[in-house]
Amino acid sequence: MKRLAPARAGLLPLALLCCGAPSSPAETPSFRFDELARVQRVGAFSLAPDGRTIAYGLGTPDLAENRMRSAIWVVPAAGGAPRRLTTGDRRDSDPRFSPDGRRLAFLSNRDGSSQVYLVDVAGGEPVKATSFPTDVNGFRWAPDGRSFLVTADVFPDCPDAPCNAQRLKEREGKKVKARVAERLLFRHWDSWKEGMRTHIWRIPLGGGPAFDLTPGDRDAPPFEVGGSMDFDVSRDGKDFVYASNPDRVEATSTNWDLWTRPLEGSAPARNLTEANKAFDGSPAFSPDGRFLAYRSQKRPGFEADRFELMLLDRASGRTRSLTPAFDFAVEDVEWAPDSRALFFTTHVKGKGALYRVDLAGGAPEEVWSRGTVHQFALSPDGRQIFLTASSLTAPSEIYAVPSRVPRGAGANRPDAVSITRVNADFMAPFGLAVSSRNVKSADGRDLQAWVVNPPGFDSSRKYPAVLLIHGGPQSAWTDSWSYRWNPQVFAGYGYVVYAANPRGSTGFGQEFTDQISGDWGGKVYDDLMRQTDDLASLPHVDRDRIGAAGASYGGYMVAWIAGHTDRFKALVCHDGVIDTASMALETEELWFTTWDFGGWPWKSEAHAKWNPIRFAENFKTPTLVISNEKDYRVPFGQGLQFFTALQVRNVPSRLLTFPDEGHWVLKPGNSRVWHAQVMDWLHRHLGGADPDPEALDAVYSVTR
């Protein structure tokens, strides 16, 4: 492919991915939930085999219908006007070019269930390409373009699609809906397993029977948030590799292994990574077929262990790490077209960066670190990388960047070329900005945080403030856009926002991440109090009007704070852990709590030591508790316990629940209510802006 000539009008300003462009106070409008809901969402994209065209999904929230609509668009890779390819009346997403580049396959629920559809790149009406009995969760083209490889939940003892269809029909006809379980991991994230397993099937494009490539009573690939596509096919179409967990009790195991078998025929699969009892996954064949790259962890049971990038020589069987001294986790991985290097994303000091590592040796080198990279693909000649990236000041767009940084470029790195500008005009008036701060921990470590000021910021004023505490707990606030907990939205309601990265945060070295395990309320609590001191020290912050809010582990820390200090004037706990002992036996991924608390509640003293409910007699701070009924990660009862304890202690408190949401609030209408309730609570106790009154009226109260 011809190297792209940077069009000056399409260059991505550095400020857009860093700190935003300041505006004068009188000209700066507020960015609140209504504005967030108007942002169009650039989703997954696909680069055509010839590198000339990019297809992408574009989502639009439908508040009235409480759902997302999305369509497929195409745009020249050299830049230019985009063209809409599908109507997007329902949800069209995840486009993938056919190997010959003439057609696009995509997922759509336009007929009710999620299936694969086909449309000519030149245009026309999409046609349904699969009619599998259950939803297609994800798919890829086979290298010859004659079939799809799809992931779907099926009955493990059914050998074909008609058997699954009949079994579903029988289940739907039953009047009694009782469930029976005889093993763990009987539900996951926000749904029950219902006696089904995720398998990978090959479905011929022109009709014919579907074939189960991963038969048996195992999930292959295992569950992953956002959908797992942990499988690959060699470029010659002969070999197939996938991830699966062979352990008997999957709920206590992170032992993903890689299995290989021929794509055609019925030969049994062979385990490639049996010796490692920790995670092995994300397989990717090299373009020349010589190597298999994959990600691996060393410590069984620890889901936040560092992911290394491994290389398997398929001829010799020898395996080596390409990132043995790299102290950050390898995430998404792609091969260079010449099979001489690999590119991967990672999080480093609050940034979602892109790195390159050569097979010949040497340390990984940074390619891009402005904002956060979410997806990327290399041009056929390997000279450019197309990527989606966002920041705390800008939602995701598609850009092009060079695949190699010129030696000695330093800060003078080439700018990114904007391929899409979906939200540029809409976002420009807000002048969003963000800054980074560091404060020292008790043992001398740097504790990083992102700070966002209210619109029209006036340094002579005093503002209320909110400390945001991230979940995980092995996670981080990164320089990336969010449609759930967006610091810009909190700031839009008049708050100084301090998004803290204390002990346990990822992207600051594995030792820093490790130090929260077994110590949930210890050093990390001290870190957060020091960061709160830093927030209170800002001359424009009213130290008497500071609140704290967090979700998941962040919700746990809110509960811990409630029992250990009254320095905050309001608290918001979303899907947080209140009783560590009951949580350990209610949650589904049991390896998480057994690792982080050093064992089961009847054996480990950490469960009692770091249990927030033990300190309920100290609860004083007004608290909003949010707990969703389909949350199986931090089950619904955790929020009920917290709210009950607050009520019997006569602490001002409110309970918000969503019967149709899991760990996150994802539906647009529900999100509107969530934001209204959170901002109303903060307004009442901290004095920020009034929330949307219509959204407040959209809920019903079970008590008055």
Q: Which sequence positions are flagged as catalytic?
A: 552, 631, 663
Structural tokens at position 605: 């003293």
Per the DSSP assignment, residues forming a β-bridge with 357 are 342
Distance CA 83, CA 328 (A): 39
CA distance 422 to 71: 13
- Other C-beta atoms closer than 10 Å to the C-beta of 428 total 12
Please give the full DSSP string across 597-616, using - where no structure is assigned: TTS-TTT-HHHHHT-GGGGG
Beta bridge partners of 348: 351
State how far the Cα of 472 lies from the Cα of 684, in Å rounded to an integer. 29
Q: 287 near 341, Cβ under 8 Å?
A: no
Q: How far apart are CA 330 and CA 341, in angstroms?
A: 14
Tokens read off for 63: 């508040």
What is the pairing mode between strands 394-402 and 384-391?
antiparallel
189 close to 179: Cβ distance less than 8 angstroms: no
How far apart CA 377 and CA 3 sit, in angstroms, is 15
Nearest to 111 by CA among 123, 96, 126: 126
DSSP 127-184: EE----SS-EEEEEE-TTSSEEEEEEEE-TT--SHHHHHHHHHHHHH-S------SSS
Nearest to 481 by CA among 421, 394, 416: 394
Q: Tokens 């262990």 correspond to what residue?
A: 305
Tokens at 52, concatenated? 């000339």
Q: Is 658 within 8 Å of 628 (Cβ atoms)? A: yes
